[in-house]
Structure 1
Amino acid sequence: MTATRSGEFVPTRLDRSAPTYIAGHRGMVGSAIRRKLNREGFTDLLLRSHGELDLTDRGATFHFFERARPQLVIIAAARVGGILANSERPVDFLSENLQIQVNVMDAALEHGVERLLFLGSSCIYPKYAPQPIKEDALLTGPLERTNDAYAIAKIAGIMQVQAVRRQYGLPWISAMPTNLYGPEDNFTPTTSHVLPALIRRYDEARASGEPVVTNWGSGTVRREFLHVDDMASACLHLLETFDAPQQVNVGTGEDLTIEELAEMVAEVVGFKGETRWDTTKPDGTPRKLLDVTTLQRSGWTPSIPLADGIKDTVEWFRCHNQSARV
């Protein structure tokens, strides 16, 4: 898995036969990583559902690591949700994510896992961070209040990765993706993020013949979106090429307004009616565009255009709406 130069870790091609644990392999991000690693020839993926392994259970997590002995760990497991869920249940988002992260990283440390990738979220950055947001904007200002508890948990994960590097010298890394979407996303009305929420809302309106769709907020805030298969590709790339304590932004470097996004979704699903905006509902952070210079310099760029990704996600939703999280 590793090479050395003057006693320092040098990332290189991962051993495709090494026991590899994907925490959260059934979620949107984890399932995309699983598909990517399968395509790349990884032969010993360690996969446990929440029913098989509750990562908030510290004893169970340590027992799993003792028995499975993974050599590579990717932490994609997390409690996630949109503005409404984060606003109404901040304790859940703070407590559960802290437990998952600490348990997995402590167990990985105890059992000598050399290479670990922790996945966070772009909500770690201050609400009014200069745009595009550079990695060093972390902890330079107040967070967006609607998801500050979740953000604090993810910041703690970054700090734990950096602490392990300082105290134990292990080459663990962390990556902060922008807004992700794609197959296996959460389409439930109360906990979904903006893009899957729009897909469900417009597709149901089209199917039922509703003449009007009403969306939250003003539609003027700007967001960046990355297809989850691109995210999975970036994860493998970082594991094989990158080593530094600072988190790496993962995104496209391009954004659009939520109103523009809604127009794209409406066109893809075939909705011909009117769109209205409920400005009594929160917008969240005014803009959140990541500076992806570090990632680009490492040699990676996304390959899935947003329009194509939305079409792909709509098709997946229509094929799986009986079994998807709806």
Structure 2
Amino acid sequence: MLGDTSPIGAALVQRLLHLGHPRSQILLQSTSVVDWVDSGSVHVFFERAKPELVYLIDSSGCTDPLQRNTARTYGDSATLSPGALLGAARAAGVTRLMYVATAHEHHELQLCAALAAEGLDYRSVRTCQAYGPYSPSPVPARVARAACVIEDLLHTFTSAALQACKQVVVKADPLQRIDLMYARDVAEAIVHVTDLPRSVLAGAGRPWPLHIDIGAEDEVCVGDLIEAVAQAAGFHGRVLLEAVHAASPVPPLGNRQLDSLGWRPLIPLPTGLELTAMDFRLRHRMFPTALPRNTATGPRI
């Protein structure tokens, strides 16, 4: 197993490297060494590794643990619940932990807050939808929905551009709004919150102590997002939106907490999509040749 390939996990590793942590100290932890489904195996691993700090990334209901210590360890979990991993970390004597929730997992956030109340430096953040370059893994990876949607759209529009399609049909609710942030910005925000003095974070954390929401400055409509991805992919034909019923919207997280702590995102959406499209083209340099088509069908969003 190659480790966490989600945009947040990959960006977090890059951020640690940028801060000067040697690549040799970031170890790709395979399930042949740690059975992430078994709490006993995870407990033994924590006791042996003795991590100074644990990053626990809960992606779309699944958990990807990233441990950072003198010999920093980078691993990818299977199906063990975040609560069980938090308990295993506590039982093994881990005193510093950052729990990263990518949805509204209130139970785990409350558990993290309860452990913080015991005096442990267990912090938590809840992030908006992250997108950006990532490296697909040969094993099933847990990737944020926004990243998957943008990846599918890039494939559709890039293929359509190469095949000289005149139009692309995408099924979506164009008025649905999404809370988006470039993955490297999300990673920088996570590290920023991790490194804040506990006293500063305790005064800003809401609704739980030592907790911060990482939300985008502005939401984007799905219709505008699709048009922006088409432009980033180099498709200049017509985009037809076939309206579908969208799921109930998730309330935006907002960025007031982070702004009050002196941090704001750097990468605007058009720039982030250009970088993501560039990464996509580098990973998919070869495309099968095809005759020009009038219409291509995109993914349903």
Which amino acid letter does the alignment assign opposite residue 27 of structure 1?
A: S
Q: Does 1:306 align with 2:252?
A: no
Query: Would the aligned equivalents of 2:46 and 2:94 in 1 still touch at CA under 8 Å?
Result: no
Task: Say which is worse superposed, 47-56 or 111-120, in terms of deviation.
Answer: 47-56
Using the size of structure 2 for normalisation, the TM-score is 0.74
Aligned counterpart, 2:37: 56
Which amino acid letter does the alignment assign opposite residue 266 of structure 1?
A: A
More helix by share: 1
Query: Would the aligned equivalents of 2:5 and 2:135 in 1 still touch at CA under 8 Å?
Result: no
Query: Quick one: distance in 2 between partners of 1:291 and 1:79?
Result: 19
* Structure 1 unaligned residues grouped into runs of 5+: 1-22, 82-95, 125-153
Query: Quick one: distance in 1 between partners of 2:274 and 2:91?
Result: 44
Using the size of structure 1 for normalisation, the TM-score is 0.69
Aligned with 2:111 (options 141, 151, 160): 160
Aligned with 1:289 (options 252, 262, 271): 252
1:54 CA drift (Å): 3.8
* Structure 2 unaligned residues grouped into runs of 5+: 63-77, 287-301
The correspondence of residues 25-40 of structure 1 with structure 2, limited to 5 A, is 25-40=4-19
What secondary structure sits across from 2:54 in the alignment? strand
Give the number of equivalent residue pairs. 252
1:71-100 per-position Cα deviation (integer Å, ceiling 9, x unaligned): 10001254569xxxxxxxxxxxxxx66x24
Aligned with 2:121 (options 168, 171, 175): 171
Which amino acid letter does the alignment assign opposite residue 134 of structure 2?
A: E
C-alpha distance 287-161 of structure 1, shift in aligned 2 (>3 A): closer
Task: Say which is worse superposed, 271-280 or 254-263, in terms of deviation.
Answer: 271-280
Query: Would the aligned equivalents of 1:222 and 1:255 in 2 still touch at CA under 8 Å?
Result: yes
Q: What's the RMSD between the two structures over aligned residues?
A: 2.8
The correspondence of residues 157-306 of structure 1 with structure 2, limited to 5 A, is 157-166=108-117, 168-184=118-134, 193-241=148-196, 242-243=201-202, 244=205, 245-246=208-209, 247-280=211-244, 282-286=245-249, 288-306=251-269
Query: Quick one: distance in 1 between partners of 2:27 and 2:135?
Result: 22
Which amino acid letter does the alignment assign opposite residue 88 of structure 2?
A: A
Query: Would the aligned equivalents of 1:161 and 1:173 in 2 still touch at CA under 8 Å?
Result: yes
C-alpha distance 180-240 of structure 1, shift in aligned 2 (>3 A): same
Query: Quick one: distance in 2 between partners of 1:299 and 1:220?
Result: 32
1:25 CA drift (Å): 3.8
Query: Quick one: distance in 1 between partners of 2:60 and 2:213?
Result: 20
Q: Does 1:110 align with 2:60?
A: no
